Amino acid sequence: MSNTRRDFIKITSLSAAGLVFGGHYVHSAMQSKRLALGGDAGPSRTPTYCEVCFWQCAGWVYKNEDGKIQKITGNNDDQNCNGRLCPRGTGGVGMYYDEDRLKTPLMRVKGADGKQTFKEVSWDEAFDFIAEKMQKIKEEHGAECTALFTHGSGGKYWGDMLKAFGSNNIAAPSYSQCRGPREVAFIATYGEGLNSPEPLDIRDTRCLVLIGSHLGENMHNGQVQEMSDAIDNGASIITVDPRYSTAASKSKFWLPIKPATDIALLLSWIREIINNDWYDKAYVEKYTYGFDELKNYVQPFTPEWAYGITTLKPHHIRESAREMANAAPSVIVHPGRHVTWYGDDTQRLRAVAILNALLGSWGRRGGYYIPDKLSLPDYPHPEFPQPKRTWRDVTNGKYKLADLALASGVCDATIPSPDMDCNIKGWIVNGTNLIMTLPDQQKTIDAINNLELLVVVDTMPMEITGYADVVLPECTYLERWDDLRVAPGRNPSIALRMPAAEPKYNSKPAYWMAKEVAKRLGLGEYFAWETFEEKLDWQLKQVGSSLEEMKRIGVKNLPREYGNLFYAENEEVDFYTNTGKIELYSTALEAEGFDPFPVYTPHMEPPEGYYHLNYGRAPMHTFSRTANNPNLTDLMDENAVWVNPKVAKEWGLQNGQPVYLQNQDGVVSEFPVKVRVTERIRFDSVYIVHGFGHADKKLSRAYGKGASDSQLITRVLMDPIMGGTGMRGNFVTFLFEKESEVQS
């Protein structure tokens, strides 16, 4: 393998070249500060939908008198944002003005000194190289030995290119590293997953239960807005979290649970609701399967039993169960989003799904609504060929219940092993920094070392770009057309993204790149449109709109086609499960050899002097993607490690003191992180915001700021049901200085 071993190259080497060959790049930072005073944005505005996170809020981009992008505001007609973007969306301008952006295509070459380095190349050179390598992989190993990892809009075009090429290994880390277990649990229970945005009627709920979900710090825009509406309407909030989150501070009940014991609490809640006859009898009888078995099953799980495990007082467990029951069916036990915690996540989410069913909240006002989504025809193209092996074969047929390809599985399938008959040889990585996103960084790097081709498409140099053979600079969402947004919601809707400005530097849209590569592979017929506008207009005309109309309004809401938002009284419903009912008892899990009811299993506890490593989000950042955004780093440019005052005293830690974190496997954080001594965290845990501690110097604002939780997540707890990668089984301790020998 040594011939394909690649070094991590810092794109820093380019900046010197950038100065020589493209001095005009340098002044962009200044320009961003030279916007005309007065703040009157003038009449020109273009529609977009936000790409700073997956919520995809629709908005308007305004320019100042000099024709420069000044600000982005929400589109009032959009159901995802109701005219209000979140801080990241408002700060989206920073993505455009960020002077550290990728500027021109790059290729890995050996320098005269034998060292690997990037050189600037033309788009033609980059595409020719990619096409040639892909052909070679196809001839030698088969087309299905290529894979795409993606996050964001560009994934559709690269995905189509790959499907046309003969591979369906298309994986989004947002599945096996994030919401996958939730989808599988809800499919097992209700016959359908939740998707994005989740169909939660938070604004009309009377009781919102958040389990480890920190809405408010987690800026899922529509949900944060509706949580605020619910507070206005006097709804009660119950928060389960070892940390006093912002949401906890708005809650009637905060249950400061011992980490990793959530299933015990859920089982106890289920028992309380059944044994006190607080469940929705008519609903349970009409719609569910397996109630009597469930009732039997949960009998041992008394609040006193749960107390011994969760450290939550029995009367708090009872009172909070009562609170939910009083509000039912207008109650939401929130399914969460990043749910890959301890490897039994599908089961935990099953318990959440069951609890909702007992309370009768699925399909009810103030609970889960029935979403509707427009089906938009694709621009005509030939049928995609049947891949010789699918992602299921490639990932060795494991995890049958997974409904999407597993990013971690595809990564594993890249590392040769005796039980694998097909190894993946080529990756396209679109808009996702796999080094930070996938757990176990060393494994990701090992996989990369076995590749024959790694193409990275991004707007910013991220850690992953340093491993690429070819780097393709994408222009930001403010500079490009993209596919129409067809999000599910209370009503079907479409939103348009169009360029507000010409792409800066030599960056290009992903649809153009994918088409160019496809053409070189003889697959041009899959991208038969001349211009992207032509494609969009064709699609819009199929659904009674037009590009011309959408340019004017940005968002179009359509009438529902899929019946009512909620079930009518006594409505007959056929659920897409084996029994046609909501399965409290899961026949699908049983058939695959898994427990039909959620089981509480004790998890590992931190060794002496170590603490649970909890991580989460800050409202002004999206994962590691925004860590260099000038507007957003202005709000928060590093994370801190939250430490309980008792722990701080024991260790002699002061507020603001820099420490290194070392995990149970001896991995030490690359950079020190400042201590934040706060009562808001349990004594057995520490907390850091995810997405900091960037190691790439080219990210001038993010480099070396804080600690990276990803780096410290080396123990991965696999979910046996669907292959989710549980990341909360890691423990850390404090180091005052970094000794080189500790670092291994």
Partner 1 sequence: MRYAMAIDTKKCVGCSDCVVACQTENNVPIGYCRDWVVEITDGTYPQLEIEIRSERCNHCENSPCVRCCPTGASHYEDGGIVTVTHNKCIGCGACIVSCPYDARYSHPEGYVDKCTFCLHRIKKGQQPACVEVCPTKCMYFGDLDDPNSDVSKMLKKRKYKTLIPEAGTKPHVYYLI
Question: Which residues of the chain form contacts with ligand SF4 (CB under 6 A)?
Answer: 50, 52-53, 55-57, 81, 85-86, 88-89, 219, 221
Tokens of 75: 């589109």
Closest to 384 (Cα-Cα) out of 577, 264, 518: 518
CA distances from 375 to 101, 139, 484 (A): 35, 37, 11
Q: Which does 84 bind (CB under 5 to 8 A by kind): partner 1, ligand SF4, none?
A: partner 1
Q: Which does 208 bind (CB under 5 to 8 A by kind): ligand SF4, partner 1, none?
A: none
Residue 52 or 264: the one with the smaller Cβ distance to ligand SF4 is 52
Q: Smallest distance, Å, CB 88 to ligand SF4? A: 4
Tokens of 424: 């993946």
Distance CA 188, CA 281 (A): 21
Tell me whether residue 82 is exposed, middle or buried, using C-beta atoms within 10 angstroms of its C-beta: 0 to 12, 13 to 18, 19 or more: middle
Among 32-40, 276-284, 513-521, 662-670, the segment contacting partner 1 (CB under 8 A): 32-40
Give the alpha-carbon dihedral of 66, 70, 73, 75, to 10 degrees: 30
Among 70-78, 318-326, 337-345, 658-666, the segment contacting partner 1 (CB under 8 A): 70-78
Q: Smallest distance, Å, CB 179 to ligand SF4? A: 15
Q: Which does 105 bind (CB under 5 to 8 A by kind): ligand SF4, partner 1, none?
A: none
Number of residues that bind partner 1 (CB under 8 A): 56
Q: Is 603 in contact with 342 (CB distance < 8 Å)? A: yes
Q: Which does 53 bind (CB under 5 to 8 A by kind): ligand SF4, partner 1, none?
A: ligand SF4
Closest to 471 (Cα-Cα) out of 442, 426, 511, 430: 430
Phi, psi of 142 (to 5 degrees): 110, 145
Indicate the angle between helix axes 303-310 and 314-327, nearest 10 degrees. 120
Q: Is 619 in the site for partner 1 (CB under 8 A)?
A: yes
Residue nearest to ligand SF4 (CB): 89
H helical segments located in 371-425: 391-394, 407-412
| Cα four-point dihedral sign 276, 282, 288, 289 | positive
Q: Which does 140 bind (CB under 5 to 8 A by kind): ligand SF4, partner 1, none?
A: none
Site string for partner 1, 73-112 (x = CB under 8 A): xx--------xxxxx--xx-x-------------------
Residue 228 or 546: the one with the smaller Cβ distance to partner 1 is 228
Q: Is 680 in the site for partner 1 (CB under 8 A)?
A: yes
Q: Is 70 in the site for partner 1 (CB under 8 A)?
A: yes
Q: Is 38 in the site for partner 1 (CB under 8 A)?
A: yes
| Cα four-point dihedral sign 285, 291, 295, 301 | negative
Q: Which does 56 bind (CB under 5 to 8 A by kind): ligand SF4, partner 1, none?
A: ligand SF4
Q: Is 691 in the site for partner 1 (CB under 8 A)?
A: no
Q: Smallest distance, Å, CB 183 to ligand SF4? A: 20
Q: Which does 217 bind (CB under 5 to 8 A by kind): ligand SF4, partner 1, none?
A: partner 1
Is residue 664 within a helix (H) or strand (E), and if so which, with residue range? Answer: none
Q: Which does 661 bind (CB under 5 to 8 A by kind): partner 1, ligand SF4, none?
A: none
DSSP 646: H
Q: Is 361 in the site for partner 1 (CB under 8 A)?
A: no
Q: Which does 716 bind (CB under 5 to 8 A by kind): partner 1, ligand SF4, none?
A: none
The residues pairing with 38 across neighbouring beta strands, listed in sequence order, are none
Site string for partner 1, 637-676 (x = CB under 8 A): -------xx-------------------------------
Q: Smallest distance, Å, CB 87 to partner 1? A: 4
Q: Which does 420 bind (CB under 5 to 8 A by kind): ligand SF4, partner 1, none?
A: none
Distance CA 255, CA 277 (A): 23
Among 229-237, 403-411, 424-432, 548-556, the segment contacting partner 1 (CB under 8 A): 229-237
Tell me whether residue 418 is exposed, middle or buried, using C-beta atoms within 10 angstroms of its C-beta: 0 to 12, 13 to 18, 19 or more: exposed
HSE-CB at 628 with a 13 A cutoff on CA atoms is 26
Q: Which does 360 bind (CB under 5 to 8 A by kind): partner 1, ligand SF4, none?
A: none
Distance CA 583, CA 80 (A): 30
Q: Which of 26, 39, 65, 233 binds partner 1 (CB under 8 A)?
A: 39
Q: Which of 49, 158, 244, 594 binds partner 1 (CB under 8 A)?
A: 244
Q: Which residues of 378-412 are buried (b: 16+ CB within 10 A; e: fewer)?
A: ebeeeeeeebebebbebbeeebebbebbbbbbbbb
Residue 256 or 606: the one with the smaller Cβ distance to partner 1 is 256
Q: Is 219 in the site for partner 1 (CB under 8 A)?
A: yes
Quick count: other Cβ atoms within 10 Å of Cβ 18?
18
Give the alpha-carbon dihedral of 102, 95, 694, 104, to 10 degrees: 0
Distance CA 412, CA 414 (A): 5
**Contacts with partner 1, residue ranges (CB under 8 A):** 32-33, 35-40, 70-74, 83-87, 90-91, 93, 215-217, 219, 221, 224-225, 227-229, 231-232, 244, 246-250, 254, 256, 619-620, 630-632, 634-635, 644-645, 678-683
